[in-house]
Amino acid sequence: MADQGSDRRPKYRRIADELRSAIQEGTYGPGDRLPGENDLMATYDVARMTARQALSVLRDEGLAEARKGAGVFVRSFRPIRRRGIPRLAQGNWGTGRSVWSADIEERALLVDQIEVTEARATARTAAALGVPPDSPLCVRSRRFVLDDKPVLLSVSYLPATVAAGTAITTPDTGPGGTYARLAELGCKPTHFREEIRCRMPTADESARLSLTPGTPVILICRTAFTEQGQPVELNEMTLDSGSYVLEYDFDA
């Protein structure tokens, strides 16, 4: 235990820092049980609330998870490696594969919430899609679950002049998804632009993604363009940052 004489950190922070270092150094590996409240009370001569706060810090940082009746364990992190370039290659969706196939390998992916509706373009969506404000849009809202954990919320906007009356307006768009259907309609995406930022989640996002307190979300806004430069889809995605690694591989 570190010398506490000149250390101005709160006791629970000192304990959390030491446990974090032990995790990073491999003393505690993925799936290992961390010292419980009673252990920390005895080792550091602190009150139960202090020990509880120390463990809460690690949980809030995503390093540990509580298991009811069993204790607090080092989190086993098997990230989704989102390969930003290969996932959008025509070799995926153009051959009937999902863009997710580049990310998840053989893991079990489920879309457990899907809603397809009609809406009117706002100033923001109209500007992104190059259509007049109040134009009709097809809106596809989905929640993606991987290994029984919600990891992504996705809302796609497409001009109704393109999507109306097609499989894009149905829950299951078929092999290759929306991009394959756009290609069949003569609107094949050939260029994509993604904008990425991070923030703390709203209450609704936190609930739908089952986020632990303190976990931020990654926002990815992708626009798909045809060869002629026409935008045909705006996709706004909200990712659980604790579940992802964003990977971009490109030549200089």
The first and second tokens of residue 131, run together, are: 């259509």
Assess whether 142 and 103 both reside in one domain. Answer: yes
The parent domain of residue 90 ranges over 80-247
DSSP collapsed to 3 states, the chain: CCCCCCCCCCHHHHHHHHHHHHHHCCCCCCCCECCCHHHHHHHHCCCHHHHHHHHHHHHHCCCEEEECCCEEEECCCCCEEEECCHHHCHHHHCCCCCCCHHHHCCCCEEEEEEEEEEEECCHHHHHHHCCCCCCEEEEEEEEEEECCEEEEEEEEEEEHHHHCCCHHHCCCCCCCHHHHHHHHCCCCEEEEEEEEEEECCCHHHHHHCCCCCCCCEEEEEEEEEECCCCEEEEEEEEEEHHHEEEECCCCC
58 assigned to some structural domain:
yes
d(CA 18, CA 1): 8
- Provide the pLDDT for residue 196: 96
- CATH code of the domain containing 33: 1.10.10.10
Q: Which residues contact 60 (CB under 8 A, 6 or more apart)?
A: 212, 213, 214, 215
Assess whether 63 and 185 both reside in one domain. Answer: no
Structure pTM? 0.78
Assess whether 112 and 170 both reside in one domain. Answer: yes
Spatial CA neighbour of 157 closest among 121, 115, 197 = 121
Domain count, the chain: 2
3 assigned to some structural domain:
no
* pLDDT for residue 229 is more than 70: yes
Q: Which residues contact 158 (CB under 8 A, 6 or more apart)?
A: 129, 137, 138, 140, 168, 178, 232, 233, 234
* pLDDT for residue 252 is more than 90: no
Q: What percent of the chain has pLDDT over 70?
A: 98
Assess whether 42 and 123 both reside in one domain. Answer: no
Structural contact between residues 62 and 55, judged by C-beta atoms closer than 8 angstroms = no
Instruction: Report the Cα–Cα distance between both ends of the chain, in Å, rounded.
Output: 48
Assess whether 49 and 120 both reside in one domain. Answer: no
Across the chain, mean pLDDT equals: 90
- Provide the pLDDT for residue 2: 46
pLDDT tens digits along 66-115? 888 899 999 877 788 888 877 887 777 777 777 777 777 778 788 998 99
Phi, psi at 156, each rounded to 5°: -110, 140
Assess whether 54 and 86 both reside in one domain. Answer: no
1 assigned to some structural domain:
no
Bigger pLDDT: 7 or 187?
187
* pLDDT for residue 4 is more than 70: no
Place of tokens 């005895």: 42
Assess whether 43 and 95 both reside in one domain. Answer: no
